[in-house]
Chain A
Amino acid sequence: MSGTHGTTKTAGPAVGLNPTEQPEVAGSSGGGPQIEAVRRRVRELLPAAAVITDHARLRTYECDGLAHYRVTPALVVLADSADHIAAVVRICAEEKVPFVARGSGTGLSGGALPRADGVLVVTSRMRDIREVAPLDQRAVVEPGVINLDVTRAADPYGYYYAPDPSSQQICSIGGNVAENSGGAHCLKYGFTANHVTGVEFVTPDGSVVELGGRAPDSPGYDLLGTVIGSEGTLGIATAVTVRLTRKPEDVVTVLAGFPSTDDAGAATSAIIGAGVLPAAIEMMDALAIEAAEAAVHCDYPDGAGAVLVIELDGPAVEVRQEFDEVERLCRDNGAFEFRVAKDDTERALIWRGRKSAFAAVGRISPDYIVQDGVIPRTSLPAVLRAISEMSASSGVRVANVFHAGDGNLHPLVLFDESKAGQAEAAEEISGKILDLCIEAGGSITGEHGVGMDKSAYMPRMFSEDDLDTMQMVRCAFDPDNIANPGKIFPTPRLCGEVPGRHKGEHPLARAGIAEIF
């Protein structure tokens, strides 16, 4: 069982469209005196194999899964240990040089886009699974460990790691922590933040702190919950304690064909409304089905305007009850085909169409933009209709593939960059889709993160005060703004002088009545 969206290959090449819009990251040649000092000190400290300075090799790290943004880092460090990371970050802090952390580099928002004037700290060599403790329902892993490898390590004990981003075969736990990754099954099981109980964490001054631990509810502020999803702007996780989940007794996967996305959306609402909480409900529209069919021959129902992939899991008898309910509600809402996977092979076939959708779209269109907006589930039919109308009136084709259960849309806006005006038209539609999401009370990103890509949209979702308040956290962790600067927030907050603890005498004390307070 697995989710479904972008991999390194599937990221749209054209988000943002204009490389000249990123002067802050693209400007420097990386040859300033500070970075020179960092380069020298890091080389003295770390083994030669852990430090990359050769330009051709540096260029292999110029982008993450969102290949449109490219910046060659001044220096790459392939860290082997938390000590390496802490030492490099400490040097960066002393020289006031920015650093960016990177795991497997599969992110789809440019979150791991390097800085030309900074250090890229790569954690992918830190791949030890330090401990699997089934009796504690925990595993302790290094940040470079691949998501799926945690599940593989837990499997012999009857456990798995629940968050399952579609890139789970290649994405790293460290990256998952940075992005608060979800996946197709987070509808029922939640996100990374709900499944990580502790991290060893290097703060932007190079200190190593423990946030959380093996037991829940560590005393003090929930800094663990604060750093998960902070996209590398508060520091770098160097070890992660994850919660393991008991494997379900039964899993049932269903493919339902509907005449239209309206019908499939109504079925989704009816299922949730009936109190059934499937592990996943995924939707694809006709264009996405067409692409998947051409690419992987997944044998989806002919003539479907939309399909739902629904997965139910849990105790067998509960799954059976839910299954009956889901079948009835799908048929009541117009499903003309309702197919149940009889075994793992058929389950894999059903998921194959959904999982391959992004790559498949690449076959029917030379270029495309992936969005990640979220809407309240009940707004699905209206928003899908609006997208369809925009597509019809502009002539820009939009394929829809998404997590219907939680309203997380992944519209794929298709275009051909070689044809004049198409890229601009696609970008315009893409932005309008995000506006639709915000107007419907949703979010600009459900799981891909803000990163470099969507920071310009943050003020559409949050007020200046909201963003300012978030950045107070940033100022507490990183007053010099060296941890992945330029990501998430469109405008950095100046942290300024740290104000005094209390200025002067309390007015009531001055009044001579302080003792009563």
Chain B
Amino acid sequence: MAVDALLSAGQSLAAACDDVREATDTDAVDGVHPRFSARPGSTAEAAGVLRAAAEHELAVVTRGAGTKLTWGTPPERADLVLDLTRMDAVLDHAAGDLVAVAQAGCPIESLQRTLASAGQRLAIDETLPGTTLGGGIATNSSGPRRMLNGTFRDLMIGTTVVRADGVIAKSGGRVVKNVAGYDLGKLMTGSFGTLGVVVEAVFRLHPLPADVSVLVAQARDTGEVAAMVRAVLHSEIVATAIEVDWAVTGGGEIGVLLEGTVDGVAARTTTARALLAGAGAPDIQVADQPPAWWGRYPTGTLLKLTCALSAVDHLLREAARLGVSVRGSAGSGVLYGGLPADADVPDTVTALRGVCVAAGGSLVVLDAPTAVKSTVDTWGPVAALELMRAVKQQFDPHRRLSPGRFVGGI
């Protein structure tokens, strides 16, 4: 009987997709071992796989490069891993329209290479090496450039999704300006694969800047951080990013990224240097490359910390006091904390979450060892959770898409 059910599910999957195999240990999703792995080569194949999964009531976890499979809470169950790495093509680059279309399994880096040949880019940072577009969309991951350019939710203008029942649906389109219908792309962004499978996306692009400079200043206390960030953020030099790297010892660096024309960047660098010096920076380095810590998550248990802009210095101070190192966008209020292995994670999370929430933000435990995860509230308080459950109920009534990986057990 067992063998029959498995055989039958396996046969349906194999009929839908020519790259289906039994899963191995390397296919585990945050400690949960699936039965099958399917690597569809097209949207049609992906839809076929999801139809087969629906027919056999298989729980499906979608993956790309697998760089963030341990983010969020572990799935309650996983029968099938839907691996999108074969769907890695840049389908179109309409350079004159500053628009690109790519499959979800396409690594961000590979899309950027294609775009760079025409002097363009997707203004989104690759925060983990190898990250695919789909993985970035599913987690709404973002790096330093979000301050000026926004995140996937702002730059994705069209989305093709395969629903839990295998139906293919599009929203948006290939033009930047478009208000026809609901923007399902935003709903899918950051949904951790729990509403549908994004298989294809259309992006708004930006020209590559002719020149770049990075200023790095030491800060001795959070008062200096506040003064420097404020000076640059509230100036007219239009920085692309303002990052902070803050150690538990209560010291660190501020980095400012400027992008533009050659003459423009030179002049703005001079202004930025004066602004930082005026805010008390004792020593300012200028380079054409960011420092090694730039845009990299801190090590250890990884926290995502958000707050109102005016509270960033307070957050840094409290984090240091609680033994959490912090790195991220001081100019947008989205930062990342790292906790060492020997930390008391639940108490630290509770205390620091209180700080974030009081400052108009939130704390999410993005990534942690399984043993740690089981002891903490990963997502924290979530407003409008009932509405989110209602959306989930519509899109995936049988809870087969990454069940349990998202807020409130969704």
Chain A residues in the interface with B (C-beta under 8 A): 133-138, 158, 179-180, 182, 186, 190-191, 193-194, 203, 209-211, 213-223, 225-226, 228-230, 246-249, 269, 272-273, 275-277, 314-315, 317-318, 320-322, 374-378, 403, 406-408, 441-450, 454, 458, 461-463, 465-470, 472-477, 488, 498-503, 506-508, 510-513, 516-517
Specify which chain B residues have a CB less than 8 angstroms from the CB of A475 in the assembled complex: 394
- Tell me the minimal C-beta distance from B368 to chain A in angstroms: 16
Which residue from B140, B175, B390, B395 sits with its C-beta under 8 Å from A217?
B140
Is B364's beta carbon under 8 Å from chain A?
A: yes
- Given the interface pairs A248-B236, A275-B207, A477-B390, the reply to whether A322 lies near B184 with Cβ below 8 Å is no
Q: Which residue of A lies closest to B97 (CB)?
A: A376
Specify which chain B residues have a CB less than 8 angstroms from the CB of A193 in the assembled complex: 154, 183, 186
Q: How far is the CA of A470 from the CA of B186 in the complex (A)?
A: 12
- Beta-carbon contact of A225 and B167 below 8 Å: no
Specify which chain B residues have a CB less than 8 angstroms from the CB of A272 in the assembled complex: 96, 98
- Beta-carbon contact of A507 and B56 below 8 Å: yes
Q: Which of A210, A443, A462, A465 has the most CB of B within 10 A?
A: A443
Specify which chain A residues have a CB less than 8 angstroms from the CB of B379 in the assembled complex: 219-220
Q: Which residue of A lies closest to B189 (CB)?
A: A222
Q: How far is the CA of A465 from the CA of B35 in the complex (A)?
A: 30
Is B290's beta carbon under 8 Å from chain A?
A: no
A-B residue pairs in contact (CB < 8 Å), sample of 13: A135-B230, A137-B309, A203-B387, A272-B96, A273-B95, A275-B210, A315-B236, A375-B175, A376-B174, A441-B174, A469-B163, A472-B391, A499-B393
Which residue from A194, A315, A462, A470 sits with its C-beta under 8 Å from B154?
A194
Which residue from B96, B98, B181 sits with its C-beta under 8 Å from A467?
B181
A466-B171, A502-B398 known, 7 other contacts, Cβ within 8 Å: A215-B333, A218-B382, A220-B383, A445-B179, A473-B187, A498-B397, A508-B5
Which residue from A273, A441, A449, A500 sits with its C-beta under 8 Å from B173?
A441
Is B354's beta carbon under 8 Å from chain A?
A: no
- Tell me the minimal C-beta distance from B324 to chain A in angstroms: 17
Q: Which residue of A lies closest to B260 (CB)?
A: A318
Is B178's beta carbon under 8 Å from chain A?
A: yes
- Beta-carbon contact of A446 and B163 below 8 Å: no
- Beta-carbon contact of B394 and A473 below 8 Å: yes
Which residue from B33, B151, B210, B359 sits with its C-beta under 8 Å from A516?
B33
Q: How far is the CA of A145 from the CA of B241 in the complex (A)?
A: 31
- Beta-carbon contact of A136 and B174 below 8 Å: no
Which residue from A138, A463, A476, A512 sits with its C-beta under 8 Å from B394?
A476
- Tell me the minimal C-beta distance from B57 to chain A in angstroms: 6
Give me the 5 closest cross-chain CB pairs, A-B, nearest first: A225-B186, A275-B207, A214-B360, A215-B361, A469-B169
Is B52's beta carbon under 8 Å from chain A?
A: no
Is B1's beta carbon under 8 Å from chain A?
A: yes
- Beta-carbon contact of B1 and A511 below 8 Å: yes
- Tell me the minimal C-beta distance from B238 to chain A in angstroms: 6
Specify which chain B residues have a CB less than 8 angstroms from the CB of A406 in the assembled complex: 175-177
Specify which chain B residues have a CB less than 8 angstroms from the CB of A474 in the assembled complex: 182
Chain B residues in the interface with A (C-beta under 8 A): 1-2, 4-6, 9, 33-35, 56-57, 59, 77-79, 94-99, 119, 140, 142, 146, 150-151, 153-154, 161, 163, 167-171, 173-184, 186-187, 189-191, 195, 206-208, 210, 230, 233-238, 260-261, 263-264, 267-268, 304, 306-310, 332-334, 356, 359-362, 364, 379-380, 382-385, 387-388, 390-391, 393-395, 397-399, 406-408
- Beta-carbon contact of A443 and B182 below 8 Å: no
Q: Which residue of B lies closest to A233 (CB)?
A: B182
- Beta-carbon contact of A378 and B309 below 8 Å: no
- Tell me the minimal C-beta distance from B116 to chain A in angstroms: 12
Which residue from A186, A217, A223, A517 sits with its C-beta under 8 Å from B306?
A217
- Beta-carbon contact of A469 and B393 below 8 Å: no
- Given the interface pairs A209-B384, A214-B361, the reply to whether A462 lies near B181 with Cβ below 8 Å is yes
Specify which chain B residues have a CB less than 8 angstroms from the CB of A318 in the assembled complex: 238, 260-261, 264, 268
Q: How far is the CA of A448 from the CA of B179 in the complex (A)?
A: 8
Q: Which residue of B lies closest to A495 (CB)?
A: B394
Q: Looking at chain B's contact residues, is the secondary structure mostly helix, strand, loop, or mixed?
A: loop
- Beta-carbon contact of A216 and B334 below 8 Å: yes
- Beta-carbon contact of B189 and A225 below 8 Å: yes
- Beta-carbon contact of B388 and A465 below 8 Å: no
Q: How far is the CA of A189 from the CA of B170 in the complex (A)?
A: 25
Q: How far is the CA of A303 from the CA of B43 in the complex (A)?
A: 52
- Beta-carbon contact of A269 and B96 below 8 Å: yes
Q: Which residue of B lies closest to A245 (CB)?
A: B238
Which residue from B142, B182, B264, B399 sits with its C-beta under 8 Å from A226?
B182
Specify which chain B residues have a CB less than 8 angstroms from the CB of A473 in the assembled complex: 182, 184, 187, 391, 394
- Beta-carbon contact of B180 and A461 below 8 Å: yes
- Beta-carbon contact of B310 and A135 below 8 Å: yes
- Beta-carbon contact of B195 and A219 below 8 Å: no
- Beta-carbon contact of B383 and A501 below 8 Å: no
Q: How far is the CA of A513 from the CA of B334 in the complex (A)?
A: 44
- Beta-carbon contact of B382 and A219 below 8 Å: yes
Q: How far is the CA of A317 from the CA of B382 in the complex (A)?
A: 45
- Beta-carbon contact of A226 and B167 below 8 Å: no
Specify which chain A residues have a CB less than 8 angstroms from the CB of B236 in the assembled complex: 246-249, 315
Q: Which residue of B lies closest to A407 (CB)?
A: B175
Which residue from B150, B260, B261, B385 sits with its C-beta under 8 Å from A190?
B150
- Beta-carbon contact of A507 and B94 below 8 Å: no
- Beta-carbon contact of A221 and B391 below 8 Å: yes
- Given the interface pairs A463-B170, A466-B170, the reply to whether A225 lies near B187 with Cβ below 8 Å is yes
Which residue from B175, B308, B309 sits with its C-beta under 8 Å from A446?
B175
- Given the interface pairs A216-B332, A221-B190, A376-B94, the reply to whether A443 lies near B177 with Cβ below 8 Å is yes
- Beta-carbon contact of B182 and A408 below 8 Å: no
- Beta-carbon contact of B399 and A277 below 8 Å: no
- Tell me the minimal C-beta distance from A474 to chain B in angstroms: 8
- Beta-carbon contact of A215 and B5 below 8 Å: no
Q: Which residue of A lies closest to B259 (CB)?
A: A318
- Beta-carbon contact of A511 and B306 below 8 Å: no
Q: How far is the CA of A469 from the CA of B383 in the complex (A)?
A: 24
Which residue from B173, B359, B393 sits with its C-beta under 8 Å from A476?
B393
Q: How far is the CA of A322 from the CA of B262 in the complex (A)?
A: 11
Q: How far is the CA of A465 from the CA of B173 in the complex (A)?
A: 15
Q: How far is the CA of A322 from the CA of B207 in the complex (A)?
A: 13
Specify which chain B residues have a CB less than 8 angstroms from the CB of A462 in the assembled complex: 170-171, 180-181
Q: How far is the CA of A158 from the CA of B234 in the complex (A)?
A: 8
Q: Which of B182, B183, B210, B390 has the most CB of A within 10 A?
A: B182
Q: How far is the CA of A210 from the CA of B333 in the complex (A)?
A: 19
- Beta-carbon contact of B310 and A273 below 8 Å: no
- Beta-carbon contact of B391 and A215 below 8 Å: no
Which residue from A214, A247, A378, A469 sits with its C-beta under 8 Å from B97?
A378
- Beta-carbon contact of A136 and B397 below 8 Å: no
Q: Which of A134, A158, A516 has the most CB of B within 10 A?
A: A516
- Given the interface pairs A445-B179, A501-B397, the reply to whether A469 lies near B167 with Cβ below 8 Å is yes
Q: How far is the CA of A85 from the CA of B121 in the complex (A)?
A: 44
- Tell me the minimal C-beta distance from A107 to chain B in angstroms: 11
- Beta-carbon contact of A507 and B153 below 8 Å: no
Q: Which of B2, B177, B195 has the most CB of A within 10 A?
A: B177
- Beta-carbon contact of A374 and B260 below 8 Å: no
- Beta-carbon contact of B183 and A442 below 8 Å: no
- Tell me the minimal C-beta distance from A362 to chain B in angstroms: 25
- Tell me the minimal C-beta distance from A249 to chain B in angstroms: 4
Q: How far is the CA of A212 from the CA of B391 in the complex (A)?
A: 16
Q: How far is the CA of A34 from the CA of B230 in the complex (A)?
A: 56
- Beta-carbon contact of B390 and A226 below 8 Å: no
Q: How far is the CA of A500 from the CA of B57 in the complex (A)?
A: 14
Q: Which residue of A lies closest to B356 (CB)?
A: A215
- Beta-carbon contact of B177 and A321 below 8 Å: no
Q: How far is the CA of A442 from the CA of B157 in the complex (A)?
A: 12
Specify which chain A residues have a CB less than 8 angstroms from the CB of B190 in the assembled complex: 217, 221-222
- Beta-carbon contact of B308 and A138 below 8 Å: yes
Which residue from B2, B99, B187, B332 sits with its C-beta under 8 Å from A513?
B2
Specify which chain B residues have a CB less than 8 angstroms from the CB of A186 in the assembled complex: 177
- Tell me the minimal C-beta distance from B27 to chain A in angstroms: 13
- Beta-carbon contact of A221 and B182 below 8 Å: no
